[in-house]
Chains A and B, each alone.
Chain A
Amino acid sequence: MISIQSSSDIMSVLHNIVQRSHTSDSKDAEEWTAIGFRIANNYFLAPIDQADEVFPLPAQITPVPKSKPWVFGISNLRGDLLPLFDLRLFLYGQITQINNRSRIMVIKQQGLFSGLVIDEVFGLRHIDQQAHANDDLLNTPIAPYLDGSIMQGDTNWYVFNFTSLATDQRFLDTAA
């Protein structure tokens, strides 16, 4: 990473970005882009094409009566009704503590348009390896929604599959 010491450094960085944007075709086909996020103490990666939008928690969230506990509420996203789900509560049985790091990640999968409450979103992560299945994952309750894990640096990332979540009947069955 180039360290930014002065305004000329910024210019060179921007120039570098422009050059790389033109030469993106020559990139390694193996590399894929994901969004890194955290739920509880676990780090997750989601392929960028599975996410639709990320935004901070809206000021107004309307609770949904007679629903499962993980149904966080309904909010208005630019005129569209967006149901919100507490992913932490659904996966781990722990209610998410809302703070300024909390985010809503919007997914559109299999006709399901919904927002998931996430503890923290780190941003884009460029991964140059494929997820490999870990035997340990099969023993956890979240195993059905994972494609495997990737070790990058000191961090072990679980690759989350929103499609699996969107097709899970338990998740879809929100009526209490």
Chain B
Amino acid sequence: MNNNSFLSILTAKNNLPFSLLALLFVAIGIVGVWSIETGFYLQFFGFTFPISIAISISIIVGLGFALMAGLNTISVVQASFDDMESQIRNTQDSVLTLLDEMGDLADGDLTVSTTVTEDMTGAIADSINYTIDALRDLVMSINSTTLQVSSAAQETQSTALTLTEASTRQSQQIQEVSLTITDMATSFEQVSNSANQSADVAKQSVALAAKGHNAVKRSIDGMDTIREQIQETSKRLKRLGESSQQIGDIVELIDDIAEQTNILSLNAAIQAAMAGEAGKGFAVVADEIQRLAERSGNATKQIDALVKTIQSDTHEAIISMEQSTSEVVSGAQLSQDAGESLGQIEAISHQLEDLIDKISSSAQQQAKSASLASDNMGTIQEITLQTSSGTHESAESIGHLLTLADDLRKSVSGFKLPQS
């Protein structure tokens, strides 16, 4: 419209000469008027008639030129109006098209898109398209988000339900554990009692070991006495053996003499036999002497055998006594060992007693700890119940949240989205 401004129309090429001429003639008329009015004209001329006619003519000519210029301008304005009218009609058409295209959008159809033209509505269509896109993205995002929320809420709900169940189980288990701990406490009490009894037994064993130790000492003393007596007897037996050896020596001497007597009497008998009748009497004597010698020889042999028996018996007795002595010594050693063992048993029983005392006190402490643990378990039980109800409430809230997400999804379900 700026192009069609009045001034510009006037100054347009084809109008410019008419305009200038109109202005010139008007200006001449105005100058004539001004000269009359001021009396300037009268100084030169005495009348005004000619000038008035000149003024009128110039003004009329000026007006004529002005009219000519005006006619041109009017035709230009006329053309402008026509142009405007067609433009308005085009705009109206495009707006109608736009409205037509946007008709489904009102029903929530987000699949529509407006045609972007060169018209004035092109920009609007572009904006609307942009808006539809944004709205579509929004609805899609709401849809997907509600789906996610829904599935997450479902998961959370099931988790919460599982949690509730688990809490219930936990509660049961805690009850069982609590019972077990109570049992344990009872067992610890029993252990403590048993340990006390064991301590008594250990004390008794200490006393018994001490008694045994004394008995072993006495038996060692007795064995020492026995050993001394055996050694003394052994000495006497040795002396007896030596005496019997002396007897044996003497008997050997007697046997020797008897043997010599035997030989002598034998030779005497032989001599007597040689002498014949004269030697008969002597032969008898020699014979008798021989017999006596033989008998004494036999007697010495018996004595020798007896002495040998005595000696071997003595020897055996000495050997058996030596064995007895060594057995007594080893017995004493065994008793010594037994005594040491009993001493060790005594010491160990002492240690055992201490240890059992410690066990008893530990068991008592543990019983206390167990009852404490039982109390704690009660607290845990309460907490678990709270947790259980809390998770139950959470499940309900999540159910609510699920409903809300459903509602949200329903609220955007009116929008139609492109198939994708």
Contact = CB atoms under 8 A, between A and B. Distances in A.
A55 interface: yes
A121 B263 CA distance: 9
Interface of B is mostly: helix
B266 A17 contact: no
B294 A54 contact: no
A24 B267 contact: no
Contact of B270 (A21, A22, A53): A53
A118 to B, nearest CB: 12
A48 B270 CA distance: 6
Nearest to A47: B273
Contacts of B284: 17, 20-21, 24
B117 to A, nearest CB: 166
Interface of B: 262-263, 265-267, 269-270, 273-274, 280-285, 287-288, 290-295
B45 to A, nearest CB: 227
A48 B285 contact: no
A1 B294 CA distance: 13
A49 B282 CA distance: 15
Given A17-B288, A49-B273, A49-B274, A123 B266 contact: yes
Interface string A13-26: 11001101110110
A52 B295 CA distance: 24
B270 A51 contact: yes
Question: Nearest 4 A-B pairs (CB), nearest first?
Answer: A21-B284, A17-B288, A21-B281, A48-B273
B399 to A, nearest CB: 132
How large, as a class, is the contact surface on chain A? 20 to 34
B254 to A, nearest CB: 14
A106 to B, nearest CB: 9
A17 B270 contact: no
B352 to A, nearest CB: 75
B263 to A, nearest CB: 6
A103 B264 CA distance: 13
A124 interface: yes
Nearest to A121: B266
Nearest to B269: A124
A54 to B, nearest CB: 5
Given A124-B266, A124-B269, A21 B290 contact: no
9 contacts: A13-B288, A22-B281, A24-B281, A25-B280, A49-B273, A53-B267, A54-B266, A103-B263, A123-B291
Contacts of B269: 33, 48, 124
A73 interface: no
Contacts of B262: 123
A69 B341 CA distance: 75
A35 interface: yes
A122 B291 CA distance: 10
